[in-house]
A and B are shown apart, each in its own frame.
Chain A
Amino acid sequence: MTKTLLIADDEPNIVISVEFLMKREGFEVLVARDGEEALAKIREHRPDIVLLDVMMPKLSGFDVCQEVRADPALAGVRILMLTAKGRETEVAKGLALGADVYMTKPFSTRELVEKVRQLLGQ
């Protein structure tokens, strides 16, 4: 069965690469440009994995992560935070709020693919 993946990022330039990569990996890829849209799409499509940026308009990635983890119906959604916020305190916060993986930009595309695969147990 095809797995669904949501990219939540307001930077189109990063979306281009990640979308390309994930499609090549065989995902059905959804894109959200801000926090609210991301949350709505997660609720609607229940993606298997979300690549979540922290700095986004309307709702931050931290807020989205918290909301998803607070909703038992979304328990199966894996969250990989992919963000420019790289301070130790921020990493700790992301993981504490329920992110499964916290990756900081810039990242290696291979490593990203690897992590996504690991998360989905492939």
Chain B
Amino acid sequence: MTPSRKLGLAAGAVCLLIVAALAATAWLSWLSARGAGLAFNDLVTTLLILGLVCCGLAVTALRELAARYVRAPLRLAEEVATVVADGARRVKTDGGSELDALARAINELATAREALQRDVAEQVRQAQRSLEAEKNRLAALMAELHQSVVVCNLDGRILLYNQRARAEVGDELLGLGRSIYAIFDHGLIAYALESVSQRLGREEAPAAEFVASTRPGLLLRVHLAPVLGGEAEGDATEPAIAGFVLILDDITANFAEESQRDAVIQGFTEGVRGPLGSLRAAAETLSDYADMGDEERHRFLDVIRDEAQQLSQRLEQAAGHYGDALQARWPLEVVRGADLVTAGLKRITGQTGVPCKAEELDDTVWIKVDSFSLLQALSYLTGRLNDEYGVREVRLALSRTGHHAQLDLIWSGTAMNTETAMAWELDAMRGAGVSAPSVREVVERCNGEMWFERQRAAHRALFRMLLPLVEPNRERGGERRFLRGGSRPEFYDFDLFRWSEGGHALDDRLLSELSYTVFDTETTGLQPAAGDEIIQIGATRIVNRRLLHHEGFEQLIDPQRSLPEESIQVHGITPDMLAGQPRIDTVLPAFRAYCADTVLVAHNAAFDMRFLQLKEEATGVRFDQPVLDTLLLSAVLYPNQESHRLEAIAERLGVTIIGRHTAMGDAIVTGEVFLKMIPLLADKGIRTLREAREASEKTYYARIHY
């Protein structure tokens, strides 16, 4: 029914009612006027009945109208409110067809809104994914950089750094959230920032450089570049400085090398001037004064012989020193010889199509070479062997001889003469760029020597390169830093799963919904029951499936006991760093407050929990919330993997490790690992805390038996 017809009907009904009432009144009046036996009382009664009937009809009609056109819209309004809260719901109405139309319109709107929301959510997800990818790329890039990089906010708090920076500056000073002013003088950085902002105003390259010494004897060249962002102040057009990037370059060695080179050159010139002066004076005097006596002449001849000898000696000395200094002139990097050979095999075959195999390889050989050019040289020689003599296969061998490494490019069968070999060594390498060096040049650049050799008995020939060996201790100190310590033993002597009743309150919540505190401790040793103590707690939070890097808890603790040397090797925390730090009884309540109402997550959690548990009585602080252990969860996810060390898991899950063996560093890695585990666990049907706990429990008891 159309609304106008409804309106007509309603109007018609009202008119009809009025007309009926009027007609009835008129009829009754007419009857009474005729005095047709109708008493006045009857008239009144009839009118009243008539009136009541009319009222009843009217009320019924009104109620119907109110239900359809007044309450129904109110109900609809309430339903709309639920749609606003939950985009998936739709409204329906029991009102008239007009309200049905409105409800349909509302539902269309809700559908459109839901689609829009999905769209936005998808865009957010995509943005997050690309942000994550970018972050990973940045982390990989920073890890690969030869320079140290530290990023700070304007307050000098460290936001980001790479491992090299840590190795260079020292673990004790560099850490996320710490102040850069513990490393560099505040004034120095303030001055650099000031000159950067001046340059910004002048549109010059906005960067500053300074040289600073940090640890004793360490000289760093620091390149400071601003991080622009944030709101420009007032109506200034250039963006404000939000922080800064420091690129550090350890120039201690360069500096020493350059000083040494200078000293060699200067010492040589000065050292030569004196003897040459005596020599020349004696020679000139001899020739100018031919009239001198025999005795005098002999004195002068002695001077000449004597000084000439001294001069030769000085020359030898200087040449020796200069040779050493020369080593530092090319961008030579220290590589493990075997790695270079392995890379060489691929490269040679890839570039020349000639199969290349490794012969004896000494794993312990480290060399300092320009590896790119050296591999290029090997490829080039192989290419010529193939082109000119049809050599079908070459071999590489690496061995140690005296103070040198011996790298051989070997082939069999074809004999070639020494002149040809010499020519190959001296020719500019084809296909190696415009100003291509010769093979000989490349080897000399590496401070090495090379020659061609025929081994007649074995029917083979080889190019042999003698390359300088590197002292492992001097050059590979940084390498060991990454490897030291290893992991602590897995602990099983503490039952993770015996929580208090309160601990089970979160049992049926989804893992993805819960808030977590991921933590790690550094300790004086591995025997909590035998008196080892916590010396550092590092923790960070996971909220809404995000690791909050900026809300960390990081505290050194005075253990009130000595620190074994082996433990210092692991965590790098020294006794003087702990002097004056708070004791465990003041730190634990603060940590308890930090992790209140969250699920604890740790790697090899039993170890850390054991330490905390042993302090319960003394401190009165109980950690009775649920605990998840990434070690056990890893065993759930990868039951066939041998290693559940944090490094191994991190690598498996593609988590970049930054700053291992600091409590905070390990806590962060654990947190990232845990976040990656949540969806993988869900794939296995483990979605709630209870399910995670039960699955862990199974592996826990499974592991305890072997």
Q: Give chain A's interface residues, CB within 8 Å of chain B.
A: 11, 13-14, 16-18, 20-21, 24, 55, 82-87, 104-110, 112
B293 to chain A, nearest CB (A): 11
Cα separation A30 to B441 with both chains bound (whole Å): 56
Cα separation A59 to B296 with both chains bound (whole Å): 31
Q: List 10 extra interface pairs beyond A16-B299, A24-B289, A83-B273, CB under 8 A.
A: A11-B274, A13-B306, A14-B278, A17-B281, A82-B277, A105-B277, A106-B279, A108-B280, A109-B280, A109-B288
Of all chain A residues, which has the CB nearest B286? Answer: A17
Cβ of B452 within 8 Å of any chain A Cβ, yes or no, is no
**B303:A104 contact, CB within 8 angstroms:** no
Interface residues of B in 282-298 (CB under 8 A from A): 282, 284-285, 288-289, 292, 296
Q: Give chain B's interface residues, CB within 8 Å of chain A.
A: 266, 269-271, 273-282, 284-285, 288-289, 292, 296, 299-300, 303, 306-307
Cα separation A21 to B289 with both chains bound (whole Å): 9
A22 to chain B, nearest CB (A): 11
**A17:B276 contact, CB within 8 angstroms:** no
**A105:B285 contact, CB within 8 angstroms:** no
Out of B270, B274, B277, B285, which one reaches A20, CB within 8 Å?
Answer: B285
**B284:A13 contact, CB within 8 angstroms:** no
B313 to chain A, nearest CB (A): 15
Of all chain B residues, which has the CB nearest A105? Answer: B277
A residues less than 8 Å from B274 (CB atoms): 11, 14, 84, 105
**B270:A84 contact, CB within 8 angstroms:** yes
Q: A24-B289, A109-B288 are in contact. Are A17 and B273 (CB under 8 A)?
A: no
A residues less than 8 Å from B296 (CB atoms): 20
B residues less than 8 Å from A21 (CB atoms): 281, 285
Cα separation A84 to B284 with both chains bound (whole Å): 18
Can you give 26 A-B contacts (C-beta < 8 A)?
A: A13-B275, A13-B282, A14-B278, A16-B299, A16-B300, A17-B282, A17-B300, A20-B296, A83-B273, A84-B270, A84-B273, A84-B274, A85-B270, A85-B273, A86-B269, A86-B270, A86-B273, A105-B277, A105-B278, A106-B277, A106-B279, A106-B280, A107-B281, A108-B280, A109-B280, A109-B281
Cα separation A17 to B285 with both chains bound (whole Å): 7
Of all chain B residues, which has the CB nearest A82? Answer: B277
B residues less than 8 Å from A110 (CB atoms): 284, 288
**A17:B278 contact, CB within 8 angstroms:** yes
Of all chain A residues, which has the CB nearest B274? Answer: A84
Of all chain B residues, which has the CB nearest A108? Answer: B284
Cα separation A87 to B276 with both chains bound (whole Å): 16
Best-surrounded residue of A18, A82, A84, A107 (most CB of chain B within 10 A)? A84
Of all chain A residues, which has the CB nearest B288? Answer: A109
A residues less than 8 Å from B289 (CB atoms): 20, 24
Cα separation A120 to B704 with both chains bound (whole Å): 102
**B273:A109 contact, CB within 8 angstroms:** no
Q: A13-B282, A16-B282, A24-B289 are in contact. Are A105 and B276 (CB under 8 A)?
A: yes
Cα separation A56 to B484 with both chains bound (whole Å): 53
Best-surrounded residue of A14, A24, A108, A112 (most CB of chain B within 10 A)? A14
B residues less than 8 Å from A85 (CB atoms): 270, 273
A96 to chain B, nearest CB (A): 20
**B281:A18 contact, CB within 8 angstroms:** yes
A residues less than 8 Å from B282 (CB atoms): 13, 16-17
Cα separation A87 to B285 with both chains bound (whole Å): 27
A residues less than 8 Å from B284 (CB atoms): 17, 108-110
Of all chain A residues, which has the CB nearest B273? Answer: A84
**B303:A17 contact, CB within 8 angstroms:** yes
B residues less than 8 Å from A20 (CB atoms): 285, 289, 292, 296
Cα separation A107 to B283 with both chains bound (whole Å): 12
B residues less than 8 Å from A106 (CB atoms): 273, 276-277, 279-281
A residues less than 8 Å from B270 (CB atoms): 55, 84-86
A90 to chain B, nearest CB (A): 10
Cα separation A102 to B502 with both chains bound (whole Å): 93
B264 to chain A, nearest CB (A): 15
Out of A13, A55, A112, which one reaches B278, CB within 8 Å?
Answer: A13
**B285:A109 contact, CB within 8 angstroms:** yes
A residues less than 8 Å from B275 (CB atoms): 13
Best-surrounded residue of B277, B292, B296, B307 (most CB of chain A within 10 A)? B277
B543 to chain A, nearest CB (A): 65
A residues less than 8 Å from B276 (CB atoms): 105-106
Q: A20-B289, A20-B296, A109-B288 are in contact. Are A14 and B281 (CB under 8 A)?
A: yes
Of all chain B residues, which has the CB nearest A104? Answer: B273
B residues less than 8 Å from A87 (CB atoms): 266
B residues less than 8 Å from A11 (CB atoms): 274, 278
**B277:A84 contact, CB within 8 angstroms:** yes
Cα separation A13 to B301 with both chains bound (whole Å): 11
**A13:B307 contact, CB within 8 angstroms:** yes
Of all chain B residues, which has the CB nearest A113? Answer: B288
Of all chain B residues, which has the CB nearest A112? Answer: B281
B residues less than 8 Å from A55 (CB atoms): 270
B residues less than 8 Å from A112 (CB atoms): 281
Cα separation A40 to B509 with both chains bound (whole Å): 98
Cα separation A108 to B276 with both chains bound (whole Å): 11
A residues less than 8 Å from B307 (CB atoms): 13
Of all chain A residues, which has the CB nearest B287? Answer: A109
Of all chain B residues, which has the CB nearest A87? Answer: B266
Of all chain A residues, which has the CB nearest B306? Answer: A13
Cα separation A46 to B306 with both chains bound (whole Å): 34
B333 to chain A, nearest CB (A): 35
Cα separation A55 to B299 with both chains bound (whole Å): 24
Best-surrounded residue of B296, B303, B307 (most CB of chain A within 10 A)? B303
Cα separation A57 to B143 with both chains bound (whole Å): 54
Best-surrounded residue of B266, B270, B296, B307 (most CB of chain A within 10 A)? B270
Best-surrounded residue of B266, B285, B307 (most CB of chain A within 10 A)? B285
B residues less than 8 Å from A24 (CB atoms): 289
Of all chain A residues, which has the CB nearest B270? Answer: A84
Cα separation A108 to B279 with both chains bound (whole Å): 11
Best-surrounded residue of A20, A83, A86 (most CB of chain B within 10 A)? A20
Q: Give the 8 A-B CB pairs with smallest separation, nearest first.
A: A105-B277, A84-B273, A17-B281, A13-B278, A106-B276, A106-B277, A109-B284, A106-B280
Best-surrounded residue of B278, B281, B288 (most CB of chain A within 10 A)? B281
Cα separation A117 to B527 with both chains bound (whole Å): 89
A65 to chain B, nearest CB (A): 18
B residues less than 8 Å from A18 (CB atoms): 281
B483 to chain A, nearest CB (A): 48
